[in-house]
Amino acid sequence: MAETNFWAGKRVTVTGGGGFLGSFVVEKLRQRGATEIFVPRSKDYDLVQPEHIARMLEDAKPDVVIHIAALAGGIGLNREKPADLFYKNIMMGIPLMHQAWEEGVDKFVALGTVCAYPKFANTPFREDELWEGYPEETNAPYGLAKKMLLVQAQAYRQQHGFNAIFLLPVNLYGPKDNFDPASSHVIPALIRKFVEAKENGDPQVELWGDGSPTREFLYVEDAAEGIVLAAERYNGEEPVNLGSGYEISIKDLAELISRLVAYSGELVWNEAYPNGQPRRLLDVSRAEELFGFRAAVKFEEGLRKTIDWYLQHRTELIK
């Protein structure tokens, strides 16, 4: 049951609130009674610049900050721009949490990433094993930049009593995702690739790697629900996974998406490209125990909704 009074009279700032995940978080907040929601737009506030963060906090005067804004993408973007992924995510996060503490913000919700986990983590990934190895190399700069928010949250809680929490969402997917092939994650990339191959009558589609890695995916509306529940109910120092607990290989994922878009050609795996992390599957028990979150949307149902959304909006996306 939602704590419907939690948001009454609270000023909430959602960085990245105009983006993929953030827009769903804003909608969830509205549904749960939040009326003063501030969404800083990049054209007005460049959150990589500390002075812009200061101006944003002065304009918003938030009681709660939910920090979702990030520079993120798939293997291609991580290989091409590791320095940007490290610097921009560090600079959007660490000065923001510091200034939020200085300004007396009541609660700070920091979003991490599954990329923070060690490359060869035991599966399912447990939060207590987050530091037992280096992340997968292709996304380590991004993963470590986000992971520093956990270090900061725990340090500021210890020294200042600052109520900062840290959530670790697994790979997200759903309507409004990024379908740009240069920077998209695997699900939107595959959806676009198969839809276009079907339309063009291509006899085969080339895919990266060998298809053996496994991934877990969380539907974006489920992720938004988890974030809002954590903001309402969780006030601890330990990191918390947000996931579905469902694991699928990239090969099976590609075959499923090709079937759902009715592409009948051949799938060809190019092993010259990297696979990324071998396995990703989260232990999702802590989120349920601490704030009652459990993913609700079944994977194939979520994929169908995502494909339907893309087919309805693709002309405006491709412009």
The model scores a pTM over 0.85:
yes
Task: Report the pLDDT value the prediction gives residue 2, as an integer from 0 to 100.
Answer: 47
Reply yes or no on whether 142 is catalytic: yes
DSSP the chain: ---TTTTTT-EEEEETTTSHHHHHHHHHHHHTT--EEE---TTT--TTSHHHHHHHHHHH--SEEEE-------HHHHHH-HHHHHHHHHHHHHHHHHHHHHTT-SEEEEE--GGGSBTT--SSB-GGGTTSSPBPGGGHHHHHHHHHHHHHHHHHHHHH---EEEEEE-EEE-TT----TTT--HHHHHHHHHHHHHHHT-SEEEEES-S--EEEEEEHHHHHHHHHHHHHH---SS-EEE----EEEHHHHHHHHHHHTT--SEEEEETTS---SS---B--HHHHHHH-----S-HHHHHHHHHHHHHHHHHHHH-
How many angstroms separate the Cα of 307 from the Cα of each of 51, 179, 311?
A: 40, 11, 6
Q: Could you tell me the residue ranges of all domains in the chain?
A: 11-314
Q: What is the pLDDT along the chain (319 residues), one digit of tens a residue?
A: 444 589 999 999 999 999 999 999 999 999 999 999 999 999 999 999 999 999 999 999 999 999 999 998 777 888 899 999 999 999 999 999 999 999 999 999 999 999 999 998 899 999 999 999 999 998 999 999 999 999 999 999 999 999 999 999 999 999 999 998 877 889 999 999 999 999 999 999 999 899 999 999 999 999 999 999 999 999 999 999 999 999 999 999 999 999 999 999 999 999 988 887 788 899 999 999 999 999 999 999 999 999 999 999 998 876 5
CATH 1.10.30.50 fits 11-314, yes or no: no
Task: Report the pLDDT value the prediction gives residue 74, as an integer from 0 to 100.
Answer: 78
Task: Report the pLDDT value the prediction gives residue 77, as an integer from 0 to 100.
Answer: 84
Task: Report the pLDDT value the prediction gives residue 274, as an integer from 0 to 100.
Answer: 81
Task: Report the pLDDT value the prediction gives residue 4, as an integer from 0 to 100.
Answer: 54
Q: Which of 45, 117, 142, 263 is catalytic?
A: 142
